[in-house]
A and B are shown apart, each in its own frame.
Chain A
Amino acid sequence: MSKARLMQGNEACAEGAIAAGVRFFAGYPITPSTEIAETMAKLLPQYGGKFIQMEDEIGSMGAILGASLAGLKSMDATSGPGFSLKQELIGYAACAEIPCVLVNVQRVGPSTGQPTAPSQADVMQVRWGTHGDHPMIALAPWSVRETYDATVMAVNYSERFRTPVILLMDEIIGHLREKVELPDSVEVYERRKPKKTRAEGYEPYEPDEDLVPNVADFGKGYHIHVTGLLHDATGFPVGSPKVTEESIRRLHEKIARAGDEIIHTEEYFMEDAEYAVVAFGGTARTAYEAVRNAREAGKKVGLLRLMTIWPFADKVIEQLAAKVKGILVAELNYGQVVHEVRRAAQGKCLVELCGKYNMKSFEPKEIEAAIDEMCARRDA
């Protein structure tokens, strides 16, 4: 471990990206994510990498996809309106299987909304923002230190599954300053190379055993074709029902196959809990405090923190729902994760929302009061 440093969540994200081997960053300034771009602009050339400030959020997304295809681990960071603009090329990256990490430091929306205020209202946009069927991986850290780890994880997943990965931060974590000790080194996943030569019949989108193709980087003599049209193993578009169905199914199954391995959750005070709070990101910190206070008051309440937001922790929620009388979903929005929790709970317990969307983060007493209300309703 290196010595302790006082660091902001956005800075930890940039440091994590460098540690994971990101050597290309394209961005466009937008609050509250800008410090990520600023830190990358400073760090990348020191490591021989490149930073470019593009003309808009669409351009920066295009640039990281080009750089990734040319062989560099690539990242981009944005917020609200910028995230909306990037949806088109998130879909392109999913379809053409281009590894990349996109950070979304959430702020209040819709539209320009409240640029400097915290929110967690992009959960569903992260999953469904780009058109068409596609898989999604999204991670939501709850501390500065975990932001570092989650960024490394996001880069590794993007390279391993050849898919865009969203680091779903919120303003609370992005601008939070904490004392952190960063590891001297981290485990890094290096992109796989083709296993065949052209003469041996190499096809860039032929799936490997894990259903992920070993697409060659540009400039290696493979003469590959990359397109956002649905394509077969050769990479070339095919207008057939069979190829279309197989492509869309494989995109989903390569992530589904990884299963529980990429679903990260944490439990606190859950041993004998009769009620649970489900939360993520900055709100999970407040929920932790609320649950601890409730415990001190003798209430049997626990916390389930979601770190992986997508794919959703269906099994974990189902098991939780079978164990407790009620689940309170605390989130800084009008209700998004609560729908997923309800779906996964399959009616096995009461599921209620504790939502907030007024520019302010939660206070522990608000969540405590919501817990009490839920308990009273359930026990009545």
Chain B
Amino acid sequence: MERSYEKYFRQNRLPHLWCPGCGNGIVMKAIVQAIEKEGLNQDNTVIVSGIGCSSRASGYMDFDTLHTAHGRAIPFATGVKLANPELNVIVITGDGDCTAIGGNHFIHGCRRNVDLTVVLFDNNIYGMTGGQASPMTPTGKKATTAPYGSVDRPFNACDLAGAAGATYVARSTAFHVKHLTDMISGGIRNKGFSFIEAVVQCPTAYGRKNKMGSPADMLAWMRDNAVMKAAWDKMPEEQKTSEKFPIGVFLDSSYEDYGNAYEGLIQRIGGKKS
């Protein structure tokens, strides 16, 4: 059996700390498969993460890796990329990390269009701290800080990224592994700010609180409720229930990335080559 992706992991740091049945490992593997597919040089690729369950992925991945502070992965990654444009920079973040405490950094990262690929592991909850509601917990769903069901309205992170100026926006799930890898590949290819939301199951905190069954049941839920974008666009509005959501590439545009624009500025004013 070919397992070419093994070289991308720090074998001595495994097994991971995620719960049995967690979807994070699936997304982590999809990221390295996309890295392999796109032929990125392992020595020239940096993984930057925030704080939370998903952000612990950086420690398992055999690259230069940067496990930053809660919500701050995108600013750190911005500094890394601008300081050395030769580096491929991939950001791993979670729904709380990216859209709550890191929300301002997220929208400005999108706006600036620095050449980063941001993969948001969306498990709809704060897992590491034991299951509190996040800005991506659907209304009505339960969490330890929403014991009667959340009254908050959640973010649609893909809509947010697109509106803020990201040049590539896509969503997939831990069930659609091949599709997820393709979505991440597309993000790596895009020269600019790419955002990929990966829906993952958290059986321990989110699934248990909301009676979603086993990890396999949660994956089946993704299979049954994720709708490919082409089909979603043709779907009658009344069929778009609160459970259903579209997956695929929502945005793939071109706009000069920040680093390139700045290099142009240096040249224009006759500055020394960086």
Contacts and interface: CB of A to CB of B under 8 A. Distances in A.
Nearest to B71: A58
Interface string B240-267: 0000000000000000001000100110
B76 A65 contact: yes
Nearest to B78: A63
B171 to A, nearest CB: 24
B63 interface: yes
Contacts of B270: 46
6 contacts: A50-B83, A59-B108, A72-B84, A223-B10, A224-B64, A227-B66
Contact of B79 (A64, A88, A237): A64
A45 B76 CA distance: 20
B68 A59 contact: no
A219 B43 contact: yes
A291 B258 CA distance: 54
B78 A66 contact: yes
A147 B61 CA distance: 43
A55 B108 contact: yes
Contact of B44 (A48, A54, A67, A219): A219
Contact of B69 (A52, A68, A69, A89): A89
Contacts, number: 150
Contacts of B44: 219
Nearest to A72: B83
Contacts of B80: 66-67, 69-70, 218
Main secondary structure, interface of A, reads mixed
A222 interface: yes
Interface in A227-248: 227-229, 236-237
Contacts of B3: none
Interface residues of A, number: 46
Contacts of A65: 68, 76, 79
B66 A66 contact: yes
Interface string B61-99: 011111111001011111111111011000000000000
Contacts of B13: 236
A225 B266 CA distance: 32
Given A66-B75, A70-B83, A228-B67, 9 more contacts: A52-B82, A54-B75, A62-B105, A63-B76, A66-B78, A69-B66, A219-B43, A219-B84, A224-B65
Interface of A: 23-24, 26, 45-50, 52, 54-56, 58-72, 74, 88-89, 92, 218-229, 236-237
B269 interface: yes
A270 B110 CA distance: 59
Interface string B95-121: 000000000110110000000000000
A221 B108 CA distance: 30
B257 to A, nearest CB: 13
Given A74-B79, A225-B67, A54 B48 contact: no
Given A58-B75, A59-B104, A59-B105, A67 B83 contact: yes
B79 A26 contact: yes
A218 B85 CA distance: 12
Contact of B272 (A47, A92, A237): A47
A48 B75 contact: no
A24 B79 contact: yes
Interface string B174-189: 0000000000000000
A61 B69 CA distance: 11
Contacts of A220: 43
B271 interface: yes
A331 to B, nearest CB: 32
* Residue among A52, A66, A92 with most chain B CB within 10 A: A66
B211 interface: no
Nearest to A54: B75
B67 A66 contact: no
A196 to B, nearest CB: 17
A373 B74 CA distance: 56
B129 interface: no
A48 B274 CA distance: 4
Contacts of B76: 62-63, 65-66, 69
